[in-house]
Structure 1
């Protein structure tokens, strides 16, 4: 008998039939499928393989076995998990750096300059597949778009260090520990942790808040619900936290 499960994410309802995932398609889906085929051809196996579209128009992809967490539980707040997430993101970026865009390509989010890679756009525990305590796969490429490496790294650091204020329920650790973890993520990935990282994290969160309000105004129910639940307020509080603790975080960068 084929296993069927309904998996509710932050925005989409995703259904799994055995080892095939059915997700709502978008105008960007054909471009994203081409990207996924490209990175697989480059040897990156940490992403779903696109299979096409079902009779209802939903996109179909292979299922990546492992655990996916909304936020990292205490047992996964390890340096090994942190290092593996940084390594996974670097491997994905390197595999996608040779992706050739075409005139007909569609992305949900606009390209950002300088274009260095195709950003995943939402690297976080809830889009990261974990096996045996290590990050082994990325899922949900809906927010993929061309942009700088730092744009992706900044959001991943925000989520995995994490650079959250004490009031954020997904946060843990103080600014010194968070700063050291952020610097370690960057070192493993291969870029410096400095003022540019903190600026990019704040800019990335501001862009997220703007996107949430824009989508809510256009009638997107999930984003409206997220705003009502206080998600945008949490991001605003985290931006203020980064500003207040900037010197401490920068000092921690030098300690790592």
Structure 2
């Protein structure tokens, strides 16, 4: 994202001015800013620093230098990038574990039990800053919410392995290669690649489908466009792909 540029994401328009970015705020922004300040005090430097709001009510944050990719290009489908994403997610989770929520906190996504950490909520290549072939930062914390570690890990595995059907435009690798990458991500993070992981991936996708439908029902044009563009069909196909290949993936996990 270059100086003075404008980036239109899946929901928001983000503008960069020098070393800061301006993004639309939401009801969750106050809690997210407290979260970002907290993780920085815990030594986590892989997230933007909140700087307040501009005259139009947009949130203002520091700009994280590096590259952001909608999906992983071939040159970044490496063990180093996979490991770095998993390690950074673990560091973020550990830093967020001591964040104290308040009754007044509002989150874009519902809190989930057990609330072990504050999930990023959308840890995927398009929200990762890459430098020298490694993930060095996370951006776009709009979907942050309290929840179990595995809820975030599962979605990251879905995006980074990726556990996606051949018809998904972001898909790459054979089923065996996907399984190996999923197991490697989990190992680098420090959790098991097991049946619980696969169950959580599909549960996470079903929750995403429900969320998109509800936002569209409430009048969000961005989420209506997601539906029109076939996002729900894509996620449902990926759920079927994971379910159909469950035993093969579990066997592959055991090879790592």
TM-score, normalised with respect to structure 2: 0.98
C-alpha separation between the residues in 2 aligned to 1:231 and 1:102?
A: 34
**DSSP-derived class of the 1:15 partner:** strand
TM-score, normalised with respect to structure 1: 0.98
Tell me if 1:107 matches 2:107.
yes
> Cα distance, 1:232 vs. partner?
0.9
Matches within 5 A, 1:146-161: 146-161=146-161
> Cα distance, 1:22 vs. partner?
0.3
> Cα distance, 1:175 vs. partner?
1.4
Per-residue deviation, residues 13-67 of structure 1 (Å, max 9, x unmatched) = 1111111100000111011000000000000000000000000000000000000
Gapped regions of structure 2 (runs ≥ 5): none
Per-residue deviation, residues 128-179 of structure 1 (Å, max 9, x unmatched) = 0000000000000000000000000000000000000000010011211101
Give the aligned partner of residue 180 of structure 2: 180
Give the aligned partner of residue 33 of structure 2: 33
C-alpha separation between the residues in 1 aligned to 2:221 and 2:231?
A: 14
Query: Aligned pair count?
Result: 255
Matches within 5 A, 1:182-197: 182-197=182-197
> Cα distance, 1:3 vs. partner?
3.5
Of 3-12 and 116-125, deviating more is: 3-12
C-alpha separation between the residues in 2 aligned to 1:102 and 1:234?
A: 36
C-alpha separation between the residues in 1 aligned to 2:255 and 2:80?
A: 19
> Cα distance, 1:104 vs. partner?
1.4
> Cα distance, 1:5 vs. partner?
1.1
Deviation beyond 2 Å, 4+ runs, structure 1: none
Gapped regions of structure 1 (runs ≥ 5): none
**DSSP-derived class of the 1:247 partner:** helix
C-alpha separation between the residues in 2 aligned to 1:110 and 1:74?
A: 35
Supply the RMSD in Å over aligned alpha carbons.
Answer: 0.9
Give the aligned partner of residue 45 of structure 2: 45
C-alpha separation between the residues in 2 aligned to 1:6 and 1:100?
A: 34
**DSSP-derived class of the 2:5 partner:** strand
